[in-house]
């Protein structure tokens, strides 16, 4: 049933495209400036100018260019500003998602930028690649060995220091040590954190007062949680004992975990730089341009179309202009891949395999039979074509899985021979309703109300985390390390868009374990056959949701379950909505059989709608009987003085309930001290007091020039309904508390 049928373009250039888009995860040194400078900027012109005014002339010159393509941009300027102008608390976290280019960014700044800017040449990077250690829970001995490898790389650039450098290595039994023939590291003494700090101190002394080593722990987030904590503490100790700048690179989830652990126990990270993803259009264009340039002129023909690529630049410009738009980048990079650039590139490579790829949407083409192949380009037609290609690729039909489509099938979860049609949807809808981080233990109790065992829920969560639809601050892919869960941006896109998308439904249905009684090799792609399988899916989902409601109504602890199911609705309703779109489109089909099938199955689907309505009405009645308050139905304003001219304004429900989302909109105005500047991004920690045991984190953002920081959070863990819980509020700037205040119930 699953046949490999790549299109002519991909078959001709398959190896080159695969290598360029997927294997080339680290661009060569001469191309690093391209991948770092073309990032989605997080910095306003005012912010960049404020940092540049503190920097020397060579840095200011590097930030301007006559051709509009400066050598450094906001994020590079931020790191340079940190190195040159901050002398205290010099512990910095480079924070970015998987594949965003954290390593490339650091190599670029400490390589090409440092080489061209004299004011940076006194900084010598000692970069420890935590992935290269080969141990996900490295010891201090492992870290010293990796630091020695970094020192060797730098000594090769400073021949006059090689002699003294070798003496230092010999002191730690590292001189002339190389991996053995079987690639195993030589045996070394058991070193401690004090040894590591002393080793870096002696590196500092080796270079002398005119040079400043900068210690960089790269790929920290790839390690076990215990190792991340160890390295974070080591970074603090290293700076306190040497006064050197220490930098770590990690994912947002890892950084958030370390920041939370630091609250009330001293800050670990004084500063952070958020690394935005590069512009996907530039990355794909550059890599495909290299493929076409190396390949030379390409001419690929079929019965109706011929691709002639004699000018790679013109072909790639056409591709970028037509399909790699901002909307495409948002869908592919942000919504589908959670800003994971590597995953987005792999997804685009999978799309290029699409057996029905429309070349006129991709490259300039010459039509051998124009009447058979016309360009009907529009933003909507491109998005639907992209979705089709991402789901089907070179297969006959869509298949979910690690070796299949990058699109996840949410219509079923199978384990131990048992198929659940609603579990994945129920998990995402419950997390979306919560609107906050939910503890794994608490969430398993929610799912128990629907009749799902904890073992099954954990297995389903593993899949959703692996596919990027559920997010944990403790681990992005491993449930065993996760304590808290939240729906990701990608998961929300599936919930809000794909589950009601007719293309997603009609492609995904054949992948669902169903009888598919009408399917045959000859009729597999017939519209009527697909409608028959959709009808089977609706029947299976409706039966399972009926069973879920049966479990739910007899439970007294069903508040969260009721709230979530009413918030997102029944899965049956979403499938019917997508099916209704298919039926509507079929009425305009050229073939009479398609219209007849649409009429017949349209009547069946309307019958299901009539059967769903009583269940939806029943849920509404249950909510009323339980006296549950819909989240944010009645809103009030609260203003609290924080002293020294600062205030916080809140928009929150008139009653806060254990069963509701309890969303709170925050508006914070801080009177800035004369001797310091309040950053545009703050962290709010809101903790309940007395018997109201909750703790919520929120990010507050301020538009440059505005006096108000804005954000939102939800209050969970309440024991009973209340109007306003006694609370303790802490405002952090770069992980350092600037406001700590107890708040009572306002009048």
Give the tens place of pLDDT for each residue, 169-213. Answer: 888 877 554 544 444 556 778 899 999 999 999 999 999 999 999
Listed residue (455, 400, 410) closest to 432, CA to CA = 410
Last residue in a domain, options 572, 605, 625:
625
pLDDT of residue 625: 65
Of the listed ranges 312-321, 455-464, 571-580, 661-670, the least confidently predicted one is 312-321
Residue 308 has pLDDT above 80, yes or no: no
pTM of the predicted protein model: 0.71
Q: Is the dihedral of CA 81, 84, 85, 90 positive or negative?
A: positive
Which range has the worst mean pLDDT, 116-125, 414-423, 425-434, 544-553?
544-553
pLDDT for 242 equals 93
Residue 56 included in any domain: no
Task: Indicate if the pLDDT at residue 221 is higher than 70.
Answer: yes
- CATH code of residue 655: 2.60.40
The reported pLDDT for the residue numbered 206 is 94
| pLDDT number for residue 175 | 58
Is pLDDT at 453 greater than 90 in this prediction? yes
142 in the same domain as 191: yes
- In angstroms, rounded to a whole number, what is the distance separating the alpha carbons of residues 137 and 139? 7
Residue 684 pLDDT? 83
Confidence of residue 32 (pLDDT cuts 50, 70, 90): very low
What average pLDDT does the segment 17-35 reach?
54
Question: Which of 187, 160, 161 has the alpha carbon at shortest distance from 173?
Answer: 187
HEC letters along 14-54: HHHHHHHHHHCCCCCHHHHHHHHHCECCCCCHHHHHHHHCC
| Judgement on whether residues 552 and 681 belong to the same structural domain of the protein | no
Name which of 524, 513, 520, 298 is nearest 396 in CA terms: 524
Q: Which residues of 476-507 are buried (b: 16+ CB within 10 A; e: fewer)?
A: beebeebebbbbbebbebbbeebbbbbbbbbb
- Specify if 22 maps to a domain: no
pLDDT category, 139, cuts 50, 70, 90? very high
Specify the pLDDT at position 372. 39
Query: Does residue 247 sit in the same domain as residue 146?
Result: yes
Residue 344: the pLDDT is: 85
Token output for 680: 């545009």
Q: Are 44 and 122 in contact (CB under 8 A)?
A: no
Place 422 in a pLDDT band, splitting at 50, 70 and 90. very high
**743 in the Ramachandran plot: left (φ > 0), alpha (ψ -120 to 50) or beta?**
beta
Average pLDDT over every residue of 718-742: 75
Task: Assess whether pLDDT exceeds 80 at residue 44.
Answer: no
Same domain? For 590 and 551 the reply is: yes
Domain count, the chain: 3
pLDDT at 299: 63
**Cβ(545)–Cβ(615) below 8 Å:** yes
Q: Are residues 616 and 654 in the same domain?
A: no
287: in domain: no
Query: Under 8 Å CB-to-CB from 150, ≥6 apart: which residues?
Result: 125, 126, 127, 128
Instruction: Please determine, for residue 513, whether its predicted confidence score (pLDDT) is greater than 70.
Output: yes
pLDDT at 693: 64
Q: Given CA atoms 35, 38, 41, 45 in this order, what sign does their dihedral have?
A: positive
* pLDDT at residue 216 is higher than 90: yes
Q: Provide the mean pLDDT of the chain.
A: 80
- At 9, is the pLDDT very low, low, confident or very high (cuts 50, 70, 90)? low
The reply to whether 536 falls in a domain is yes
Indicate whether 407 pLDDT > 90. Answer: yes
Task: Write down the pLDDT at residue 199.
Answer: 95
CA 610 to chain centre: 39
Q: Which of 198-212, 300-314, 599-613 has the lowest mean pLDDT?
A: 300-314
pLDDT at residue number 332:
84
- Please tell me whether residues 504 and 617 are part of one structural domain: yes
Q: What's the pLDDT tens digit per position in 702-714? A: 877 788 888 888 7
Q: What is the pLDDT of residue 64?
A: 76
- Give the residue with greater pLDDT, 365 vs 647: 647
Instruction: Give pLDDT, residue 183.
Output: 47
- Give residue 376's pLDDT: 43
Query: Is pLDDT of 369 > 50?
Result: no
Mean pLDDT of 300-325: 65
Q: In this predicted model, what pLDDT tens digit does every residue of 655-702 receive, in sequence order?
A: 776 656 677 888 988 887 766 678 888 888 887 776 666 777 778 888
Is the domain of 503 the same as that of 602? yes
Examine the pLDDT at 574 and tell me if it is beyond 90. Answer: yes
Out of 367-371, 455-459, 484-488, 516-520, give the one with best mean pLDDT: 455-459
- The predicted-structure confidence for 341-364, as pLDDT tens digits, reads as follows 778 888 888 888 888 877 666 665
Average pLDDT over residues 555-567: 78
For residue 740, the model assigns a pLDDT of 80
Assess if residue 297 is contained within a domain. no
Q: Do 616 and 672 fall into the same domain? A: no
Q: Give me the DSSP letters along 72-89.
A: --HHHHHHHHHHHH--SS
Q: Are residues 561 and 670 in the same domain?
A: no
Look up the CATH number of the domain holding residue 139.
3.40.50
Mean pLDDT along residues 431-453: 88
- Which domain-ending residue is among 269, 299, 321? 269
pLDDT tens for each residue of 59-81? 888 887 655 556 787 888 889 99
Residues 673, 617, single domain; the answer is no
| Boundary of a domain, candidates 240, 269, 298 | 269
Q: What is the pLDDT of residue 37?
A: 46
Q: What is the mean pLDDT of residues 92-100?
A: 82
| Residue 28 maps to a domain | no
Lowest-confidence range among 128-142, 280-294, 625-639?
625-639
747 CB neighbour count, 10 Å cutoff:
5
Separation CA 409–CA 411 (nearest Å): 6
For 236-250, how does the pLDDT look when each residue is reduced to its tens digit (9 = 90+)? 899 989 999 999 988
- At 608, the pLDDT band (50, 70, 90 cuts) reads very high
143-164 pLDDT, tens digit each: 999 999 999 999 888 888 988 8
User: Which residues lie across from 470 on neighbouring strands?
Assistant: 487
Average pLDDT over residues 620-632: 56
Residue 157 is assigned to a structural domain of this protein: yes
Question: What is residue 631's three-state secondary structure?
Answer: coil
How far apart (Å, rounded) are the C-alpha atoms in residues 542 and 579?
14
Residue 456 forms part of a structural domain: yes
> What pLDDT does residue 176 have?
55
Mean pLDDT of 92-96: 87
> What's the pLDDT at 423?
96
Q: What percent of the chain is modeled with pLDDT above 70?
A: 77
User: Dihedral (C-alpha) 365, 366, 368, 369: value to the nearest 10 degrees?
Assistant: 70
Please compute the mean of the pLDDT values over residues 33-55 and round it to a whole number: 68
Classify burial at 406, counting beta carbons within 10 Å of its beta carbon; exposed 0-12, middle 13-18, buried 19 or more: buried
The answer on pLDDT for 469 being more than 90 is: yes
Task: Give me the domain span that covers residue 568.
Answer: 425-466+487-625
| Domain shared by 646 and 610, yes or no | no
With a CB cutoff of 8 Å and minimum separation 6, the contacts of 100 are 275, 276, 277, 278, 339, 340, 341
Q: Do 226 and 140 fall into the same domain?
A: yes
């Amino acid at each position: 049933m699953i046949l490999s049928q790549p299109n002519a373009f991909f078959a001709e250039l398959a190896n080159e495209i695969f290598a360029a888009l997927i294997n080339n995860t680290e661009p060569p040194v001469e191309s690093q400036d391209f991948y770092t400078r073309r990032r989605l900027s997080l910095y306003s012109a005012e912010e960049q100018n404020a940092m540049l005014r503190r920097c020397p002339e060579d840095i200011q010159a590097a930030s301007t260019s006559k051709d509009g393509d400066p050598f450094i941009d906001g994020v590079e300027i931020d790191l340079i500003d940190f190195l040159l102008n901050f002398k205290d608390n010099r512990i910095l976290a480079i924070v970015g998602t998987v594949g965003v280019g954290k390593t490339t960014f650091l190599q670029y700044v400490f390589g090409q930028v440092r080489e061209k800017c004299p004011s940076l040449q006194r900084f010598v990077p000692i970069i420890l690649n935590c992935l290269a250690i080969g141990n996900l829970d490295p010891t201090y001995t492992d870290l010293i060995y990796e630091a020695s490898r970094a020192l060797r790389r730098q000594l090769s650039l400073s021949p006059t220091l090689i002699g003294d450098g070798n003496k230092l290595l010999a002191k730690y039994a590292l001189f002339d040590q190389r991996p053995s023939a079987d690639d195993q590291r030589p045996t070394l003494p058991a070193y401690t954190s004090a040894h590591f700090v002393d080793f870096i101190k002696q590196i500092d002394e080796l270079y002398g007062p005119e040079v400043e080593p900068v210690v960089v722990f790269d790929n920290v987030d790839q390690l076990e949680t215990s190792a991340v904590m160890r390295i974070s503490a080591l970074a603090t100790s290293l700076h306190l004992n040497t006064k050197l700048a220490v930098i770590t690179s990690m994912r947002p989830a890892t950084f958030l975990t370390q920041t939370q652990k630091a609250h009330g126990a001293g800050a670990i990270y004084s500063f952070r730089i958020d690394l935005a993803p590069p512009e996907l259009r530039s990355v794909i264009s550059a890599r495909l341009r290299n493929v076409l340039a190396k390949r030379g002129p390409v001419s690929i023909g079929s019965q109706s179309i011929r691709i002639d690529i004699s000018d790679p630049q013109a072909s790639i410009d056409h591709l970028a202009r037509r399909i790699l738009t901002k909307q495409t980048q948002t869908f592919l990079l942000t919504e589908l891949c959670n800003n994971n650039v590597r995953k987005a590139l792999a997804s685009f490579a999978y799309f290029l395999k699409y057996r029905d790829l429309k070349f006129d949407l991709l490259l300039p083409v010459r039509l051998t039979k124009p009447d058979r192949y016309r360009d009907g380009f529009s933003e909507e037609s491109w998005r639907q074509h992209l979705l089709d290609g991402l789901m089907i690729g070179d297969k006959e039909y869509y298949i979910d899985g690690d070796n299949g489509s990058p699109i996840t099938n949410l219509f079923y979860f199978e384990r131990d021979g048992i198929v659940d049609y609603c579990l994945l949807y129920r998990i995402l809808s419950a997390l979306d309703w919560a609107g906050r981080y939910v503890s794994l233990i608490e969430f398993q109790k929610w799912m128990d109300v629907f009749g799902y065992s904890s073992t099954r829920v954990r297995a389903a969560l593993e899949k959703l985390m692996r596919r990027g639809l559920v997010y944990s601050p403790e681990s992005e892919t491993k449930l065993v390390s996760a304590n808290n869960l939240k729906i990701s941006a990608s998961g929300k896109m599936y919930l809000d868009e794909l589950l009601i998308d007719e293309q997603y439904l009609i492609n995904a249905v054949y992948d669902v374990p169903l009888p598919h009684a009408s399917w045959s090799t000859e009729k597999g792609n017939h519209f009527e056959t697909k409608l028959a399988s959709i009808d089977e899916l609706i029947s299976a989902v409706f039966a399972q949701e009926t069973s879920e409601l049966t479990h739910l109504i007899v439970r007294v602890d069903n508040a969260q379950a009721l709230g979530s199911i009413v918030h997102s609705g029944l899965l049956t309703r979403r499938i019917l909505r997508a099916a209704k779109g298919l039926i509507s489109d079929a009425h305009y089909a050229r073939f009479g059989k398609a219209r007849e099938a649409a009429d017949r199955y349209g009547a069946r689907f309307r019958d299901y709608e009539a059967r769903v309505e009583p269940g939806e009405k029943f849920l509404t009645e249950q909510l009323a009987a339980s006296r549950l308050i819909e989240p944010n139905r009645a809103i009030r304003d609260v203003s609290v003085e924080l002293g020294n001219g600062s205030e916080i304004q809140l928009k929150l429900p008139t009653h806060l309930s254990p069963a509701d989302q309890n969303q709170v909109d925050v508006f914070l105005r801080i009177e800035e001290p004369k001797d310091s500047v309040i950053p545009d991004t703050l962290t709010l920690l809101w903790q309940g007091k007395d018997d109201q045991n909750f703790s919520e984190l929120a990010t507050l953002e301020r538009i440059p020039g505005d006096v108000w920081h804005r954000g939102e959070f939800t209050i969970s863990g309440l024991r009973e309904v209340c109007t306003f819980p006694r609370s303790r509020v802490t405002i952090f700037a770069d992980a350092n508390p600037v406001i700590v205040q107890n708040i009572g119930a306002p009048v």
